[in-house]
Structure 1
Amino acid sequence: MTVANAEIAGELVAPLTAGPGWAEEVRRLARERDAVVLAHNYQRPEIQDVADHTGDSLALSRIAAASDASTIVFCGVHFMAETAKILAPEKTVLIPDALAGCSLADSITADELRAWKAEFTASGHPAPVVVSYVNTTAAVKAETDVCCTSSNAVEVVDSIPADREVLFLPDQFLGAHVQRITGRANLHIWAGECHVHAGINGATLTAKAQADPDADLFVHPECGCATSALYLAGAGAVPAEQVHILSTGGMLDAAKNTTKASVLVATEVGMLHQLRRANPEVDFRPVNDRAACGYMKMITPGALTRALVEGRDEVHVDPDTAARARGAVQRMIEIGRPGGGE
C-alpha cells in the first residue's frame, strides 16, 4: 500500500509529514495527473524540495503558462493560484488548501477599489491610474490599469505621466518605498499590509544589526523595518553598501553573489531555505524568527498528496474577470522587468 493510497474504512489518510517515500510518491502522482508542482519561496522546506519549480508567485505563474502540463498544482496562497489561472486559463489549477489566504490581498476588495477611484473622479480630477501589486485578488486586478511586483514597482510608476494621479495598492510599505525612490507627490497609497512583514520591526532589526555589524541586511520592501534599514544606512550606523532592499528573487540573486560571512534577512522565514541552498557557506539568519505565514504553512505534505489524488481544490476565475486582470499583468510585463516578483 503506497503512502498516498493508505485507507482506513474507505477514507484516504494523507500523510501529515514527509515520511520515507513521500517525495517519490508525489512525483509519481504528478506524472499520472500530468501535473507540474509549483512552490512559493515561503512554503515549508519539504514542499519546496519536492516541487518541480520554486520561486516567487509571478515567476511561477509564468512557468505555469509556459508548461506543457495540463494541471498546475500551486503550493502557495489563493491569489497566487488565481494569477496562474489568469495566465493559463486553459489549464486546471489546483491549490492544496483552498483556505490558504493572504492578509495583504484581503486588505482591499474590488468594491473598495471602485469606491476609491470614484472619490477622485467625483472631485473633478481625471481618472487616476491604478497600480496594483501582484499580491491582490483577481477581482482587484480586473479593476487595475497595471500591476507591479516589488522588483519593478518603481519602473511601473515612473512609466506613468508625471501629471497623472496614481493610486497604489495595497501595501503601504512597498508604496512608501516607491514614493521614496520616485519622489512622486501624487502617489496615493492604500493602507494595507502583510501582517507577517509588518511585524518585522525596526527595533528588532536595529538590535540584530548592532549585534553583527559586519552582516549584510536583506530587507523586503513589504517589511515595516525597511525605513529603519535605510535610516541606519543614512545615519552611518550600518554602511550603506550593506543594506539591500530586495524582492524575494532579488534576495536569491544577492545570496549567490555575497561574500559576507553572515546575512540578516527580513522577510518570511521560508525564504531562508532557498537562500541557504543558494550559498551554504553563508550564515543566513532571520531578523525575526517568528515571521512565519500561517497561510503559507497550511500546504502540508498531506494537503499536497490529497490535491494530487483527489484533484482538489480547483481554482476558478470568471472569464471576464480573468481577461481584464490579464491585461493589467501583461501591461506590467511590457513596461519593465517583472522578474524577481514579490
Structure 2
Amino acid sequence: MSAAAALAYTPEVAKATAPIFERMSRVVPAVEWPFHAPLIHAINSLKRERNAVVLAHNYQTPEIFHGVADIVGDSLALARKAATADADVIVMAGVHFMAETAKLLNPGKIVLMPDMSAGCSLADSITGADIRLLRQRYPGVPVVTYVNTSADVKAESDICCTSGNAVQVVESLGVDRVLFLPDEYLAKYVATQTKVGIIAWKGHCEVHERFTGDQLREYRARFDGLTIIAHPECPPDVLAASDFVGSTAQMIDYVGDHRPARVLMVTECSMSDNVATGLPDVEFIRPCNLCPHMKRITLSNILESLQTMEPRVEIDPAVADRARVAVERMIAVGR
C-alpha cells in the first residue's frame, strides 16, 4: 500500500483543510472531500519541509488548483513566476513542456514532474529537426515557437510566445514575415491580428480542435443570453462563433470583468470549475473536453513526487542554454 493510500481523514485533517474546502465547495462534492483532504494536508505539510512550491496550470482539477498550488496561471504566467520562484523545489502540476520551461528558467533548482508521461499533442507535433529543415526552406525568416513545445524545439527557435502574447512577440521582431510553430489555428488567429506574414505548421491541440462552430450555435439556441469565449487554439469557425477570443488568463479576466449571466468557456473544462469557485453570480455552461495529459497529474502522484523527490526534470546543458535564450526573449517582450 502506498503512503497516500494509508492516509486517514482524521478530525485534525478535517479542521486543517476546512478553509480549503470552503473555497471549492461549489465544484467539489462534499462526499469526495474525505478522499482529497488527507492528500492535500500531507502535500501542504511536505511542501514546507522541502521548501517546495507547486505550480499549477489553469487546466488542473480544483483539488489541485485550489488545494495545493502556490502559483497558478496560464503558460506565460507560470513561466514568469517560475523564473523568480523562491524555493528549492518546484513541482509542476501541468504537462512536461511546462516542467522543462521551469527548469530552463531555474537551472539550479530541483524541478519535479509527478508523471513524466504527461505530454502534449502540440509538443509532439514538431521536432528540432523539423525546424532545421524549415530554416533551409525559408532562409532568414525568424522562428516564433509556442511554449507548448519541447526544449529541443525551443533551442532551434529565435523566440517563444504564448497564446496571450503571440501578437506582441511577432510584432516585436520588426520583420515582414515569421515562421509560427506549431499550432496551426493559433497561427491563423495571429494572422488576423497583425500585418506580419505568418507561415504556419499543422500542429493541433487535441482538446481545442474537437470544438466546432455548429456546437456553439447549438448552445446559443439552447441557452438565452449566453456569452461564448474561446481559446485561439480552437478552429477558425469556433472563433468566428464566439464573443471573445483570448488566452486562458485573458478568458478568466474577461469573465471576472464582465460578469456575464451565462458563459461558455471553450477550452479544457476544468478551467470553468476553477473560475466558478469565485464567481457565484455567473452560470457556467460546460461543454467538457478534458486534456488526458493534464489529468495524469493527481494529488497522489504530487505527494509521491515530494516524498521521493522524483521524477526530476533534466535537460542537456547544450540544449538548455539555447532554449533558455528563446524563453527569456519572450519574457523580456512583456517587460
Which TM-score applies when normalising by structure 2?
A: 0.87
Check conservation: 1:105, 1:136, Cα contact below 8 A.
yes
- In structure 2, the residue corresponding to 1:265 is in which secondary structure? strand
Amino acid at match of 2:148: N
Distance in 2 (alpha carbons) for counterparts of 1:333 and 1:227: 31
1:46–1:259: structure 2 CA closer, same or farther, 3 Å change rule? closer
Deviates more, 1:175-184 or 1:76-85: 175-184
Structure 2: any 5+ residue segments left out of the alignment? 8-33
Give structure 1 stretches of 5+ with no counterpart: 8-16, 122-126, 234-242, 338-342
Write the deviation string for residues 61-90 of structure 1: whole angstroms up to 9, x where unpaired.
322221221000111100000000001111
Task: Determine the structure 2 residue equivalent to 1:318.
Answer: 316
Deviation at 1:3, TM superposition (A): 5.3
Q: Secondary structure at the match of 2:90?
A: strand
Deviation digits for residues 135-181 of structure 1, max 9, x if unmatched?
11111111111111111111111223343x31000001100001111
User: For residues 198 and 5 of structure 1, what CA distance do their matches in structure 2 show?
Assistant: 37
Deviations 1:40-69 (A, max 9, x none): 111122111221122112312322221221
Q: Which amino acid aligns with 2:216?
A: L
Which digits, 9 at most, give the CA deviation of each residue in 1:13-42, with x for residues without a partner? xxxx94442211111111111111111111
Contact 1:53/1:60 (8 A) holds in 2? yes
| Selected match of 2:237 from 227, 252, 262 | 227
Could you tell me which residue of structure 2 aligns to residue 193 of structure 1?
204
The residue type paired with residue 114 of structure 2 is P
Partner of 1:128: helix, strand, or coil? coil
The answer to whether the aligner puts 1:93 opposite 2:111 as a matched pair is yes
CA distance in 2, matches of 1:101, 1:187: 26
How much does 1:134 deviate?
A: 0.9
CA deviation string 1:248-271 (max 9, x = no partner): 001111121123210011000111
- Who is 1:124 aligned against? none
Aligned-pair identity in percent equals 45
Indicate how the Cα distance of structure 1 residues 35 and 18 shifts in structure 2: closer, same or farther if over 3 A, else same: farther
Equivalent position of 1:48 in the other structure: 65
Distance in 1 separating the partners of 2:3 and 2:312 = 23
Per-residue CA deviations over 1:257-316 (Å, capped at 9, x if unaligned) read 123210011000111122202312101222x32x10111001112111110111111001
For this pair of structures, how many residues does the alignment match?
Answer: 308
Of 72, 90, 94, which aligns to 1:72? 90
Q: Secondary structure at the match of 1:147?
A: strand
State the distance in 2 between where 1:283 and 1:115 align.
Answer: 48
The two structures, once aligned, show a CA RMSD in angstroms of 2.0
Counterpart of 1:148?
161
Against the structure 1 CA distance between its residues 32 and 262, is the aligned structure 2 distance closer, same or farther, given a 3 Å change threshold?
same
Partner residue in 1 for 2:245: 245
Deviating beyond 6 angstroms after TM superposition, the runs of 4 or more aligned structure 1 residues are: none
The amino acid of 2:152's aligned partner reads A
> Counterparts in 2 of 1:1-342, with a 5 A limit?
4=4, 6=6, 18-49=35-66, 50-121=68-139, 127-163=140-176, 165-184=177-196, 186-224=197-235, 226-230=236-240, 232=241, 243-286=243-286, 288-289=287-288, 291-336=289-334
